[in-house]
C-alpha cells in the first residue's frame, strides 16, 4: 500500500495550530473527523463514498476550510478515475493536481492547501483534500438575487460584461486541456458588484471529475458548454446572454459559421439536460411519490 501527503507551506503552521499536524488524521474511518474546531457536514444525494465538511478551524482570523474525504469508493467510480484521470493516484490527489495546474495557468479556481491518500495498487483505499473557502457564492444563487433586487449590474453594459467575462474564463479553462464534466453554474463561484462598477470575479470549483481528454475532446467540451447553458436557462438567461457568452468563448463575431454550429449543438444538448431535470423533478414530487405508492 502506498501513501502520499502534501501540505501547502503557507498552511503548515496554521493547520498544526488547529490540531492537524498529520493529514493521516483525516483518514480515520469515523463519521466526523476527531479534530478541534467546528465541523459541519455538507451532505447531498449521490456522494458515493464521499464526505464533505466545512471546518471552522477556530483561529483568531476565523478561517474556514472545506474538506472532502473519500472512503469505500464504489468500483464504478474507481474505474472512471483509472480510465479518465490517473491510475496511481486517487480522486483527492487529482483534484489537487488539477487545481495546481489551473493556478499555474492563472485560471481562477479553488485553492487546495493539503492532500493525503492511501492507495492499494491502482485502487483508492481512502483520501482527503482540503480547500480554502472560495470567494463569493455560486453564480446561480448570486444572479437571481441581484435580478430580484433590480441591481444595475443586471442591465445594459454591465450585464453584457458579465456574460463576456464568464465566456473568457471558460475558454481559458478549456485551453489548459481540462474539461470539467460537471460545469453547472453552481460550480462557478462569483463576486459580483451590484452596482456594476467593479469587474465581476469568478472561480471554478469541484474539480474532482475533471479530465484532460486526448480523444473525442469535442464531446467533453460540448458537455461542459451545454451544462452551463442549461443552468443559465434555469435562472432566466436570455438568448442574447447565451450568444454573448458563446461569442466570447469562441472569440468570434456574430454570424460566423462556427458560432452557429456550436450554438445549435449546445442548444440541443441543453434541451436534453433540461428535459432530464424536469423528469426527475416530476418523479420526486409528492404527487409522483403517491402515484408510485398506489
Residue range 137-143: mean pLDDT, rounded: 97
pLDDT digits over 22-54, tens only?
999 998 866 777 788 888 988 776 667 788 999
**Greater model confidence, 63 or 170:** 170
Residue range 122-134: mean pLDDT, rounded: 94
What confidence category does residue 285 fall into, taking pLDDT thresholds of 50, 70 and 90? Answer: low
Question: C-alpha grid cell for residue 34?
Answer: 476527531
Distance CA 48, CA 69 (A): 11
Quick one: pLDDT at residue 83? Answer: 92
Lowest mean pLDDT among 29-43, 114-128, 277-291: 277-291
pLDDT at 294 over 50: no
Question: Where do the DSSP E strands lie in the chain?
Answer: 2-7, 38-41, 50-56, 64-71, 112-120, 123-132, 137-138, 188-191, 201-204
Candidate ranges 72-81, 187-196, 255-264, 282-291; pick with highest mean pLDDT: 187-196
Quick one: pLDDT at residue 72? Answer: 83
Mean pLDDT of the chain: 91
Distance CA 233, CA 35 (A): 42
Quick one: pLDDT at residue 283? Answer: 77
Domain 137-283 has CATH 1.10.510.10: yes
Quick one: pLDDT at residue 213? Answer: 93
Residue whose C-alpha cell is 482570523: 61
Residue range 91-104: mean pLDDT, rounded: 96
DSSP string, 131-157: EEPPSSEEHHHHHHHHHHTT-GGGSHH
Residue range 127-151: mean pLDDT, rounded: 96
Distance CA 165, CA 202 (A): 9
For residue 38, list its beta bridge partners. Answer: 56
CB 167 within 8 A of CB 248: yes
Distance CA 219, CA 221 (A): 6
pLDDT digits over 197-208, tens only?
999 999 999 999
Quick one: pLDDT at residue 121? Answer: 93
Distance CA 40, CA 184 (A): 24
**Residues 180-208 as b or e (16 or more Cβ within 10 Å = b):** bbebbbebbbbebebebeeebebbbbbbb
What confidence category does residue 1 fall into, taking pLDDT thresholds of 50, 70 and 90? Answer: confident
Phi, psi of 35 (to 5 degrees): -135, 155
Quick one: pLDDT at residue 287? Answer: 43
Distance CA 64, CA 191 (A): 18
Question: Would strands 201-204 and 188-191 be described as parallel, antiparallel, or unpaired?
Answer: antiparallel
Residue count of the chain: 294
Lowest mean pLDDT among 5-19, 166-180, 181-195, 276-290: 276-290
pLDDT at 286 over 70: no
What confidence category does residue 291 fall into, taking pLDDT thresholds of 50, 70 and 90? Answer: very low
Residue range 123-142: mean pLDDT, rounded: 95
Question: C-alpha grid cell for residue 162?
Answer: 458579465
The closest alpha carbon to 197, from 250, 173, 161, belongs to 161
Question: C-alpha grid cell for residue 116?
Answer: 493525503
Distance CA 198, CA 191 (A): 10
Amino acid at each position: 500500500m502506498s501513501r502520499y501527503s502534501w501540505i501547502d507551506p503557507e498552511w503548515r503552521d496554521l493547520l498544526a495550530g488547529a490540531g492537524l499536524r498529520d493529514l493521516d488524521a483525516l483518514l480515520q474511518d469515523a463519521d466526523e473527523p476527531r479534530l478541534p474546531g467546528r465541523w459541519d457536514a455538507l451532505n447531498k444525494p449521490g456522494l458515493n463514498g464521499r464526505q464533505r465538511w466545512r471546518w471552522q478551524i477556530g483561529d483568531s482570523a476565523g478561517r474556514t476550510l472545506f474538506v472532502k474525504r473519500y472512503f469505500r469508493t464504489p468500483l464504478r467510480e474507481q474505474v472512471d478515475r483509472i480510465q479518465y484521470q490517473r491510475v496511481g493516484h486517487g480522486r483527492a490527489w487529482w483534484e489537487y493536481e488539477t487545481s495546481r495546474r489551473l493556478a499555474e495557468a492563472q485560471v481562477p479556481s479553488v485553492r487546495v492547501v493539503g492532500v493525503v491518500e492511501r492507495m492499494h495498487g491502482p485502487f483508492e483505499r481512502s483520501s482527503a483534500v482540503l480547500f480554502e473557502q472560495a470567494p463569493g457564492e455560486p453564480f446561480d444563487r448570486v444572479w437571481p438575487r441581484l435580478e430580484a433586487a433590480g441591481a444595475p449590474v443586471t442591465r445594459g453594459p454591465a450585464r453584457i460584461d458579465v456574460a463576456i467575462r464568464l465566456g473568457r474564463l471558460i475558454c481559458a479553462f478549456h485551453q489548459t486541456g481540462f474539461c470539467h464534466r460537471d460545469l453547472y453554474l453552481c460550480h462557478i463561484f462569483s463576486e459580483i458588484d451590484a452596482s456594476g462598477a467593479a469587474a465581476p470575479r469568478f472561480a471554478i470549483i469541484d474539480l474532482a471529475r475533471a479530465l484532460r481528454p486526448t480523444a473525442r475532446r469535442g464531446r467533453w467540451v460540448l458537455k461542459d458548454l451545454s451544462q452551463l447553458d442549461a443552468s443559465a436557462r434555469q435562472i432566466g438567461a436570455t438568448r442574447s446572454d447565451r450568444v454573448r457568452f458563446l461569442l466570447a468563448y469562441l472569440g468570434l463575431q456574430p454570424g460566423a459559421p462556427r458560432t452557429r454550429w456550436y450554438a445549435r449543438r449546445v442548444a440541443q444538448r441543453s434541451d436534453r439536460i433540461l428535459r432530464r431535470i424536469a423528469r426527475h423533478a416530476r418523479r420526486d414530487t409528492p404527487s409522483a411519490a403517491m402515484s408510485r405508492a398506489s
